[in-house]
Amino acid sequence: MRRHLLGLIAVLLPLCAGPVRAEPSITLRERLVMVSSASSTTLTRLLVRNFAERFAGVPAPQVDTISAARTIEAFCSGVGPQTPDIAIVTRRMPRAMIEVCAANGVRDIIEVQLGLGAVVIAGRRGDAMPGLTARQIWEALAAERPEDEDFGPNRQRSWSDISPTLPHTEIRVLIPSEVAGTRALFDDLVMEGGCRNVTRVRLIFDAAYRRSKCITTRTDGHAITLHGDEVVPALLAAPPGTLAVVSYDQLVASGGNLIALPLDGVSPNPASIGNLDYEHARTFFLYAKRQHARQQQGVGVVRGIHEFLVESTSEQAGGPGGYLTTAGLVPLGPAERAAQRRIAEQGRLMSR
């Protein structure tokens, strides 16, 4: 972790190497610096792009994409121009990390919820497929499965090879590529969630190696990787029995041509996603350091924190039909969206 933070500081230092503004406008850095978890990549990219378009002439924020745990650790590493201003993750900051933040001087934290992300296993209307579990999805798509005392290539060819309760049809699943936010959620919530309790995987000590065993998909034609916007058209043209990994927004946009399969016994819909009964959904959180914000006197680490918060919680971003829905975002309810906008506009500090 220390090596990673040193590397991040090496990236940030050139951003604050320019001349300091004369009084009364003292700004230590000209560009927002953000850290984002991998599962928030597409959403963060959309926010950054639209922020840059709205505030023409303002340098686009610098974004470093790392793991969810390291995202919060980097955010909590301290206060000053060499540390990030904003973090976007799909897990709420735990109490232990709030205490780490405080110990490092990061005490004035703004927390806003941007919306919900959900990954869906979809099929074509009329194709018969019983409800699946995340464990069965992993067993079907993983590049390697436990074999004796080691791992071996995945040789499962039909769903009935996974379980006799599943149909005797070929395993064929369309998956978005790694650049898509839906793929990151699928890796985190379904593939890694599905292999979490596999004994052979749990015995792997190294976290990175353990994760690779969970999320690496087979390349023998049973898991087909496509660009994110190609998945739905390809599914509609695919042989019967083909499944696809899509966002909930893509499912709704299909106009009823696709159906969502229950996963682990729960069907994805606005209610089950909104109250997180559907386990394969997460809330996107944005954290910002109010200590870094440019004050009314023109003093601060960086300008733009308030404006980025307001943009991120706007209706044009996270409301129904907002541009974040293209990243698979499920909007919060109207009252909750209004509450998050008030937090952003007032710069209200996290109270927990």
What are the pLDDT digits (tens) for 308-346? 999 999 999 999 889 998 777 888 989 999 999 999 999
Asked if 229 and 174 count as a contact pair (C-beta separation under 8 A), the reply is no
**Phi, psi dihedrals of residue 286, rounded to the nearest 5°:** -115, 130
Amino acid at 76: C
* Cα–Cα distance, 248 to 235 (Å, whole number): 15
pLDDT at residue 22 tops 50 = no
* Cα–Cα distance, 111 to 57 (Å, whole number): 27
Torsion of CA 15, 19, 25, 27, to 10 degrees: 20
Bridge partner list, 301? none
- Is 3.30.70.20 the CATH number for 127-274? no
CATH topology of domain 23-117+281-346: D-Maltodextrin-Binding Protein; domain 2 (3.40.190)
Do the bridges between strand 281-289 and strand 109-124 make them parallel or antiparallel, or are there none, so unpaired?
antiparallel
CATH 3.40.190.10 in the chain, residue ranges: 23-117+281-346, 127-274
Asked if 122 and 262 count as a contact pair (C-beta separation under 8 A), the reply is no
Predicted confidence (pLDDT) per residue in 227-263, tens digit: 888 999 999 999 999 999 998 878 888 888 999 999 9
Between the alpha carbon of residue 307 and those of residues 8, 250, 263, 295, the distances in Å are 24, 29, 39, 13
* Cα–Cα distance, 70 to 5 (Å, whole number): 9
Predicted confidence (pLDDT) per residue in 23-49, tens digit: 445 778 889 999 998 778 888 999 999
